Every structure is written in C-alpha cells, then in structure tokens.
C-alpha cells in the first residue's frame, strides 16, 4: 500500500522548505548534521525535485551547504558568522529607521512602548517565546515602513539564522532586560525627533557585536566552543 504523503501537493517546494525550516527550529535537524536526500524524499512522499529546490533556497539563505554526490550539510553557526550578521543587521536596521522616520508618529511610538512593556512583563514570567515575538514586532514597527522589501528579506533571514537554528530553550535574562532598556533609550530618541542619534543607537549599541559580546558569548556557548575547537 502506498504511503500517504505528509505534505499537501500544492506548492511542494515551499512546503518542503517550511518543513525543513521548522525541523531546524525545533532542533530535529541540528547544525553539523547531514540531510539524507533519499531518506527525506521517501519520508515526505515527494520526488527529489521539490526537495532539491527547497535545499537550494536554504543554501542561498546560509542554512545548508550542498556538496557533491547529494550530500547536504547543515551549517554550523559560528561566532564569526554571528559577528558578521550583527554588523549587517545593524547597518540595515539603521538605514530602515532613517527611511521610516517620518512615518513614525505618536500612534506608532505608543505601540512600540506598549510592545516593550509587554516584553518586560514576559521576561518577568520567564516567557521567552512571548518576549521574542514582541521583540520582533517592536522592530517591525519601523522595518515594515522603510519601503524596501529586499532589506526586510535580508534582515528577517539573518534573524532566523541567529535565533531559530535551533530556537534556544534557555535565555540570558540579563541580556533581555538590557535589551528592553536599549529599546527605552531608542524610544526617547525617537520621541525627541533625533533621527541620526536613534539610527546610531540601533547600529552602534543595539546591534553592535562589540557592545553585546559578553551576552552573545553566554547565549551562544555552543558556537563559542566550536570556534575554540
């Protein structure tokens, strides 16, 4: 009897991609492991074409490396990668803030303040998932108004690389508390109409690898050990 496919037959490439990304997020496919194309194709009940297409997208996004003879290695997130991603995100979010600045009125700033307050409440309850969701929404308030879809795509992908590869079970509470404080300082600059200072704060404080290095070393202890090894 033919095994029923786990996936809907619509947009197979996208469904395979989402399946693999979610498996990475949950830690079912770990960095450093090898994806067996034959086994994965049989498990999902699809041909190798949508699987190959999904893996090509994941390779373009930096999640995997496709080697000869159908070998696919899941990339390890190294401290060097983290440093580079922070630099890129900081530069792009700073640019996005400048472009969106004129669209951030009182309603938007009040919403950002509300989101930041909910982040604080979530950390008080040790609810990192809610904190993470509100944190993304806080940044999306200006990112979504920058008018540059290409910029948004790069930033969102790098954030997935940093935080969903896989999603860490624990968190560094003092880092989250410090981040909330950075958001408060950022909001004060926005409320004062200080565009240049707010953009610099995002780039040189909030997304500065050097400024955040101690927290990063704690959160990404696995990446630190790999680099030292």
Task: Give whichever of 69-83, 155-169, 212-226 has the largest mean pLDDT.
Answer: 69-83
Looking at the fold, whether 91 and 131 belong to one and the same domain comes out as yes
Q: Where are the alpha helices (DSSP H) in 26-148?
A: 37-44, 48-60, 79-100, 106-124, 128-143
> Of the candidates 74, 105, 121, which is a domain's last residue?
74
- How many contiguous H segments (helices) and E segments (strands) does the chain have? 11, 3
pLDDT of residue 226: 44
Mean pLDDT computed over 61-78:
91
Q: What is the CATH number of the domain that holds 223?
A: 1.20.120
pLDDT of residue 167: 76
User: 219 lies in which domain range?
Assistant: 79-228
pLDDT of residue 10: 60
Cα 116 to Cα 133: distance, rounded to the nearest angstrom: 11
List pLDDT tens digits, range 11-37: 889 999 999 999 998 889 999 999 999
Residue 7 lies in a domain: no
Look-up: residue for tokens 């003092």? 174
What is the average pLDDT score of the chain?
91
pLDDT of residue 229: 44
Taking the CB of residue 199, how many other CB atoms lie within 10 A of it? 21
Strand-pair category, 34-36 with 64-67: unpaired
Please report, rounded to a whole number, the percentage of residues in the chain having pLDDT higher than 90: 79
Say if CB 86 and CB 150 are below 8 A apart: no
Sign of CA dihedral 101, 190, 126, 218: positive
Tell which wins on pLDDT, 20 or 70: 20
Give how many domains the chain has, as a whole number: 2
Look-up: residue for tokens 């979504």? 144
Residue 52 lies in a domain: yes
Q: Does 148 have pLDDT greater than 90?
A: yes
Band (222; pLDDT cuts 50, 70, 90): low
């Amino acid at each position: 009897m033919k095994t029923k496919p786990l996936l809907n037959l619509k947009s197979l490439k996208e469904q395979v991609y989402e399946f693999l990304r979610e498996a990475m997020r949950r830690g079912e496919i770990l960095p450093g492991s090898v994806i067996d194309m034959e086994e994965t194709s049989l498990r999902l009940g699809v041909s190798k074409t949508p699987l190959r297409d999904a893996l090509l997208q994941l390779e373009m996004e930096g999640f995997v490396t496709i080697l000869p003879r159908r070998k696919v290695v899941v990339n390890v997130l190294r401290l060097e990668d983290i440093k580079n991603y922070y630099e890129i995100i900081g530069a792009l979010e700073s640019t996005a803030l400048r472009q969106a600045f004129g669209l951030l009125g009182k309603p938007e700033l009040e919403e950002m303040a509300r989101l930041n307050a909910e982040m604080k409440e979530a950390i008080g309850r040790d609810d990192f998932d809610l904190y993470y969701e509100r944190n993304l929404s806080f940044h999306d308030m200006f990112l979504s108004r920058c008018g540059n879809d290409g910029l948004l795509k790069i930033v969102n992908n790098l954030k997935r690389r940093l935080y969903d590869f896989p999603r860490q079970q624990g968190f560094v509470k003092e880092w989250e508390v410090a981040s909330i404080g950075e958001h408060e300082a950022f909001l004060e600059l926005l409320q004062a109409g200080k565009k240049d200072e707010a953009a610099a704060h995002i780039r040189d404080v909030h997304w500065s690898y050097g400024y955040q290095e101690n927290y990063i070393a704690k959160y990404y202890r696995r990446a630190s050990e790999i680099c030292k090894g």
